[in-house]
Structure 1
Amino acid sequence: MDRQSVVSSNLAEVGYDPNLETLEVQFKSGGIYQYFNVPAFMYERLMSADSLGRFFNTEIKGHYPEAKV
């Protein structure tokens, strides 16, 4: 999955596959995780958030199934 660099103190890169509704996040610590069943509007909200890390922690993490890549 293609990821793009983001400006965040915690997230390094973010990618999204709308067909699979899968969000992929690479953290600055190096870990890469996929989050499943994430609707496109949540990805759009994440990418337009004032703080990507805060939005991720409150709206994505713990709300969707995840797997370490």
Structure 2
Amino acid sequence: MISVRSSVIRAVDYNPLTKQLFIKFNSGYTYVYYGVPESIFRGLLRASSKGSYFNTYIRGRYE
């Protein structure tokens, strides 16, 4: 997992073979999102606000 600076997200990881995005939240829970393009993962890493990026591009779009 890659640690990130965020008030919501603690760490992220990505498997390009299965297109699975792993997000560990500051609450301690880790969620797996399926069918996520690598560009979305890269965008999350680059985003100045990880929480805002998550809410806009990931939450409710991938399960």
TM-score with structure 2 setting the length: 0.96
User: What residue identity is the alignment partner of 1:20?
Assistant: T
- Give the equivalent residue in structure 1 for 2:21: 23
Percent sequence identity over matched residues? 40
Give the TM-score of the pair, scaled to structure 1. 0.88
Q: Give the distance between the partners of 1:64 and 1:35, measured in 2 at CA.
A: 6
Length, aligned pairs only: 63
Moved over 2 A (4+): none
Deviation digits for residues 4-59 of structure 1, max 9, x if unmatched? 11000000010000000000000001111000000001101111011011000111
Runs of at least 5 residues in structure 1 that lack an aligned partner in the other structure: none
Instruction: Provide structure 2 residue ranges, at least 5 long, that are not aligned to the other structure.
Output: none
